[in-house]
Every structure is written in structure tokens, then in C-alpha cells.
Amino acid sequence: MSSAQARVHAFGKTVGMSAAAAIGESRLMLLDAGLRIVRVLVLLAIWQTLVQPGEVVSGFTLAGLLTYTLIAEIFAQQLLTKSELDSWLWEGVIASRLLYPMTLVGQLVAQLLGSWLFGFVAVSLPILVVAPLVGVDISPDSWQAGLWFVPSLVLSIAIGLALDVILGAMTVALNLSIWLVDTLRGALLALLAGSVLPLAILPWGLGNVFGWLPFASMGSAPLRIYTGTGDPLPLMALQLGWALVLWLLAGYLWRATRERLVGYGG
Amino acid sequence: MRQLLRMWKLFAGMDLLWVLRGPRDAAMYVLSDAVLIVASISTTFLLAVRFDGIGHWDRAQILFMLGYAMFVNSLLDTLFGYNVKMISRRIGRGQLDHMLVQPQPLWRMFLTEGFTPFGQPFGLIISIAMLSWTSSLLDRPFSVVWLGILLLNLFASAAIVLALQVAWGAIAFWAPRSAEEINSATNRVVGSLGPLPLDGVNRFLLGGLLTVIPVGFTAWLPARSIADVSPLFPGGLVAPLAAPLFAAAAYFVFRKGLQHYARVGSQRYSNFGHRR
């Protein structure tokens, strides 16, 4: 087996292990998936209360808002990418992970891909099935929008992963509680990423400000491209810029703090 | 009662020591509390401002409902912190043993051990301020009876949300590993759906949100009546009447789980003390 084949093999095995762990340890978390579907159905009902068919609000029709909401939930794990790096730090798993014959980023990507399989089967597929039943068209605004969405989503994932590494490095450097960091991250993303409410809908022109932040490049940008409410090229240029800046920062911070890693134990 | 007060004082002191481990820790707690409060109500608040209300709810009524939901959640966080509200974690991890070996009855431990008045200092203060302010915005006269109904409903809503957490969390007695985090899921639903007006939701789903996962009682149903969105006599008494029923159901499920636990115990820790 060549070196490249060995790497691919190791990557594939890690994806498989991650998928198996997510399914094997999370049988009752199917309930969590069910609750996510309930939540999205409630959000759809609220949009239908607020916006009348044919009405246009901040560039969105009701159909556009419903599509935006459903696509945001279908790709929730990718749009708000979060790896298990914090758990690895907390549980001390990071010590053995650093000994694996794979790069840390490679392991994080493999872990993410594996864990997404569970979410895809438990949440995304049911939503795809339910969408026509609740009268929502989930097709992209145009075939070009659908095509642009794919690289935009990849950039969104890259930004999310960089943010993960940065927060992991800061957790180590400042000896922060991972729960505190995770809670803050979740709260900020819920408000700033634009994956729950489209940023354009926000009052007081907040969306114009939030749109420039890296969080918007994670959530809002791909969704705007998909729904045809944003120009793909400037949005993706901003995403690319954030991805580069954040990965440079992530690399620097990780190198600067990895000597201070401590295994805490779970 | 004197014993309860002594224990609340004891746990409050421990909570204060935890927060004051250092200036950085204290600052982080204050900062995170402030961010969480803003984030918890941001979706509904921004929608209400943008659309000048939601459906039948005008802006003042929505703000009142947000204050109501904030108070309910803050009260529970203050009284049942440290994973008492997230009981599935303690059950799933075998940490219930830590409570069972204490020289106190279990109910007293549950009532007092999670008292964290300093860990989340802003929630209750801000929600009380917001409730007071938004009550004055409502287009209705203030009266002592109305205030009494409001207080009764606030505590009833808190009891129902706690019952939801306990009933669902008790599943961890039978499935310790896979249900360990089930209260995280139910807590997320309470946090995300609790402050939303559910008027437009279809009846079947709404039925579920008022029974199986009763998040409709977190704020929507009681606030709807108290804020006169849909004055429904005796709408102001629905939550207080439902609370004992949900509490009884939670007690029944938890007791069944505890009986199961008494037979099988916990297998989560190895002989070395590591969690499996």
C-alpha cells in the first residue's frame, strides 16, 4: 500500500469510527433529531404568520424564507461546523490523538464527516421528505445558485473548523472552561450567523454590520446564495478572505499553545 | 424549613466561592451570563421589532412574553443549577450515588444542591426588570389580583419545565449512556421554542407541545392570557392547574426509574474511576 493509499485508508477508517460512535452511542439522541424537526416546523409556522404569500420583506418572499429556514436546518451541522476538539481537550483524548499517524486537522475533518452521517440520516433526510408535505419548495433559486452553494458551503465549513481550532487554542492558552466557551460560541452564532433569522430581516440595519463578520460567512452566505438573495462572487470572496485569515490565525495560535496542552480526564 | 434554609445558604456560599476563584473566572461568568441572556431572547425580540409584533401579539405583549420566559428559565437556572435541572447527566453518569450517600433525603438534596445565585447573576434581575417594564406597557390596568395571577403562573410554568426535564431525564435510568445528554436536547427545545408564540402551529403539533414536551407552558400559553392576547377565562389558571399534573407524572416516572436503579445500579465507572 502506497503512502497516499495508506492516508486515504486511515482517513476512511476514522470517518467510519466516528459514524459508528455517533450512531452506537446516540440511539436515544434520535429524540434530539426529532426535536430539531419540531423546532423547524414551529419556525415555518411563525414565518407563515408574519409574511403573507406574495409579500416581499427585505428581499425575501414567504417561499424564500421557508426555503431558507429548511435549508438552514438540513445543513445545520455544516453551516455551524463544530468538531469534537473541545471534548478531546477536556477528556484528555487529545494526548492519544496527537500520536495518531494523521494530522490533527485531518482527524477533525474525518470525525466531522463521520458524525454528519448520523445527522444527515436522522434530520436532513426526514426534512427533505417532509418539505413537500408542508408546502415548501427546497430547490435552489436557480441551477447556478445550486452550483455556487457547494463551494460556498465548503468555505463555510473551513471557516467553522478554523474557528474551532482558534477557540481550542484559546481554551488551552487561557485555561478556560470548555463548557463556557461552547455556550458562548453557540449563543454568538445563533445571533450573528444568520442561520435562524436571515440577516437582511434584522431591524436597525444590523444585518449590514453582521454581514461582514466571519459568523455570517459561515451561516448566512451559503444560504443567501442558495435562495438567490445574495450575489455569489462577493459573498464567496469574503468567505475566502475569512477562511485564509482565520486559518493563519488558527495555525499560529495552535503552534503557540500546543506545548501547554494538559489532559484533564473526563 | 430551617434545614432547607441552612442548606441553601451553604450552597450559595459554595457557589460564590466557585465564581470568585479569580478575577478572570468571575469576569467570564458575568460576560457569558450577559451574552446568554441577550442570545436567549434575540430571535423573538428582533422579529417582534422588525414586524411590530407577531401575529395577534403586539410588540409590548411579545416583550412581556420574553420577560416571562426569561424569568422562568432564570429561576430554574438559579434554583436547579449544577446539573440538577439536567438530571439525565447525573443519572446517566452514576452520580446519583453521590446524592444518595449524603445524610439528607433525596428531595432535599434536589431542592437545595443546585442553588446558584452567583453563577448566573443577571438572569433573574434582568427578567424581573423586564417583566416590570413590559407589564407597564400592556394595555390593561394593574391590579393586585392580576399580579397574583402572574406570580402564580410564573411558578407554575417553572414547575412544568422542571417536570419536563425530570420526566425526560429519568429515561437515563434505563439507558444511562445513550440518554445521558437527553436533558440537553429538551433544554435546547425549551430555550429555543419557549420564547416563541405558537399560535400558528398546527393543532397536532401544538397538542404535543402542550403535553409530551410541554414547552408551550414556558411562556406562550400563560402569557397569552395574562397579557390579554386572547383573554380566555379561566386562561390564567391553566398553567397553575396543569402544573400539579405534570409534577405528578414526573414524580411517577422518576420513582419508577429509581426503583430500576436500585436493582441495577450504575456501570458507568471503571475500577480506576474513569467514566466508560
pLDDT tens, position by position, for chain A (266 residues)?
A: 677 888 888 888 888 887 777 776 656 667 777 888 888 888 888 888 888 888 888 888 898 899 999 999 899 889 988 888 888 888 778 888 888 888 888 888 888 888 888 878 888 888 888 888 888 888 898 899 999 999 999 999 999 999 999 998 888 888 788 888 888 888 888 888 888 889 988 888 888 899 999 999 999 999 999 999 889 999 999 999 999 999 999 999 988 887 777 655 44
Residue A259's φ and ψ, nearest 5 degrees, are: -70, -20
Q: Encode chain B (276 residues) as per-residue pLDDT tens digits.
A: 888 899 999 998 988 888 888 787 778 777 777 777 777 778 888 888 888 888 888 888 999 999 999 999 999 989 998 888 899 989 988 888 888 888 888 899 999 988 988 877 778 888 899 899 988 888 777 788 888 999 999 999 999 999 999 999 999 999 888 888 889 888 888 888 888 888 888 888 899 999 998 999 999 999 988 887 776 656 678 899 999 999 999 999 999 999 999 888 877 666 666 665
* B199 interfacial to chain A (CB closer than 8 Å): yes
Task: Classify the C-alpha dihedral B171-B173-B178-B179 as positive or negative.
Answer: positive
Q: Residue A112 corresponds to which cell in the numbers above?
A: 466531522
Provide the shortest C-alpha distance from residue A147 to chain B (in Å).
30
In this predicted model, what pLDDT tens digit does every residue of B147-202 receive, in sequence order?
A: 899 999 999 999 999 999 999 999 999 988 888 888 988 888 888 888 888 888 88
pLDDT at A6: 82
Q: Can you spell out the DSSP letters for A166-221?
A: HHHHHHHHTT--HHHHHHHHHHHHHHHS-SSS-GGGSGGGHHHHHTTSHHHHHTHH
Look at residues A171, A172, A200 and name the one whose alpha carbon lies nearest to residue A183. Answer: A171
What pLDDT, on a 0 to 100 scale, did the predictor assign at position B245? 96
Shortest Cα distance, chain B CAs vs residue A12, angstroms: 25
Closest CA of chain B from A143, distance in Å:
31
Question: Residue B185 has which C-alpha cell?
Answer: 436536547
Residues of B in contact with A202 (CB under 8 A): 46, 50
Q: Write the single-letter amino acid at B58.
A: D
Distance from CA of A204 to the nearest CA of B (A): 8
Q: Give the Cα separation of B200 and B220 in Å (integer).
A: 12
Q: What is the pTM of this model?
A: 0.85
Quick check: helix, strand or coil at residue A57? strand
Paired strand residues for A56: A61
Which pLDDT belongs to residue B58?
A: 87
Which residues 32-71 of chain B have a CB within 8 Å of chain A?
Answer: 32, 35-36, 38-40, 42-43, 46-47, 49-51, 54-55
Predicted pLDDT at A240: 96
- B27/A contact by beta carbon, under 8 A: no
Residue that has been written with the C-alpha cell 463544530 in this structure: A82
Residue B149 Cα, gap to closest chain A Cα (Å): 28
Q: What number of H helices and E strands is found in chain A?
A: 14, 2
Q: Which residues of B touch A184 (CB under 8 A)?
A: 31-32, 35-36
**Tell me, what's the pLDDT at B272?**
62
List C-alpha distances in Å: B96 to A266, B42, B168, B258: 17, 35, 16, 10
Of A214, A232, A210, A81, nearest in space to A154 by CA: A81
Q: Which pLDDT does position A266 carry in this prediction?
A: 43
Distances (CA, A) of B243 to B115, B146, B157, B160: 22, 19, 7, 5
Helix (H) or strand (E) holding A56: strand A56-57
Asked if the Cβ–Cβ distance from A35 to B188 is below 8 Å, we say: yes
Contact B32 A188 (CB under 8 A): no
C-alpha separations of B155 from B37, B162, B192 in Å:
20, 10, 20
Select from A38, A50, A174 the Cβ nearest to the Cβ of B205. A38
Query: Are B193 and A177 in contact (CB < 8 Å)?
Result: no
